[in-house]
Amino acid sequence: MLEIETDPIDLAELQTYVMQLLGARIEIKPFAKANSLPAFLRDRYSLFAARLLNHRCILLIAADGIDETPGAITKHRALLQRDYPDHLIILIANRISTHNRQRLIAQHVPFIVPGNQMFVPDLAIDLREHFRKQRETPADKLGPTAQLLVLAALQDKLAVWTPTGLAERFDYSIMTMSRAIDELEAFDLATAQVQGKFRHFQFRITGRRLWDAAHPLLRSPVRKRHIVRHNAELARLPLAGESALAHWTDL
DNA sequence: GATGTGACTCGTCATGCCAT
DNA sequence: ATGGCATGACGAGTCACATC
């Protein structure tokens, strides 16, 4: 299946991308003759008429929730091409995987991924190996760095509240701290305010309420369990879990 | 078992924005 | 104009999982 995001295609972004790449404006308007097309095509795609560098084009945008294989798209495109032989028929998608990109190219299907890729042999080719990441929906758990901030806050060890200060405090990069704050905001645990060039964040809640809210979002630091034989080498490793608790506290 | 693919995590670089 | 901060884009390293 072709991975087409359900996010609507941003036609303005498409226009900007084409302008940057070709130095020419692409004029886009709804495809007036859409009603004369077979129903299964109208159901599957939004169609737009466009004009670019004196070429008449039909832009094919997959409808929400429609996942077609490159082979099916090739057939649909061939149907349109039969009726409109003088038009360039171009698939528009927000994202195309490497594998499907190769299949589309192999089948000579022109496509544009706004801001990222263009394969229209009659006009231009712009293929990059690195693709725009899909806008992440928040994961179901906090990342390690965000988790660190929660635990530090619970222990009153957060003396600074900016990405830069936190990066120095915990020996992470500023970028990593910035992303951790993004995560805490996404989970509604914290708010961040930009004051001048500083971004200050604070937890919405503290203490027990913060722990209760964050607890379901925490992940275990235990990745795997192995059974090992006790030996002298092992005795020099740091204690963990209940052993550490028994050693370092009165519990 | 080897290989390919994708997810995850974090670092680096470039750039835009803001304060001075 | 300059310097510092925040952030987007991209790359590296690692791991898990699927497939052959």
Which residue spans within chain A are E strands per DSSP? 27-30, 45-52, 55-62, 88-92, 111-113, 117-120, 124-126, 190-195, 198-203
- Does the structure show a pLDDT above 50 at A134? no
Mean of pLDDT over chain A: 71
C1’ B5 / CA A232, Å: 41
**Per-residue pLDDT reduced to its tens digit, A74-129:** 777 888 888 888 888 888 776 665 556 666 666 677 777 766 667 776 776 655 44
C1’ C20 / CA A107, Å: 26
- CATH 1.10.10.10 in chain A: give the residue spans: 144-217
* Arch. (CATH architecture) of A11-128: 3-Layer(aba) Sandwich (3.40)
Pull the structure tokens for residue A106: 């192999």
CA distance A205 to A124: 53
DSSP state of A107: T
Nearest residue to A62 via CA among A120, A132, A1, A4: A4
**Per-residue pLDDT reduced to its tens digit, A175-188:** 777 878 877 877 77
Q: Model pTM greater than 0.85?
A: no
Dihedral sign (CA A173, A177, A182, A187): positive
C1’ B8 / CA A98, Å: 19
- Does the structure show a pLDDT above 60 at A36? yes
Residue A116: which nucleotide is closest by CA–C1'? C9
Residue A173: which nucleotide is closest by CA–C1'? B11
Nearest residue to A27 via CA among A10, A48, A6: A48
C1’ B17 / CA A163, Å: 16
Nearest residue to A79 via CA among A36, A41, A134: A41
Residue A164: which nucleotide is closest by CA–C1'? C5
DSSP state of A70: H
Query: Residue A192 forms beta bridges with which residues?
Result: A201
Q: Which residue is nearest to nucleotide B11 (CA to C1')?
A: A173
3-class secondary-structure state, position A136: coil
Higher per-residue confidence, A231 vs A224: A231
- CATH 3.40.1350 in chain A: give the residue spans: 11-128
CATH number of A144-217: 1.10.10.10
C1’ B6 / CA A107, Å: 25
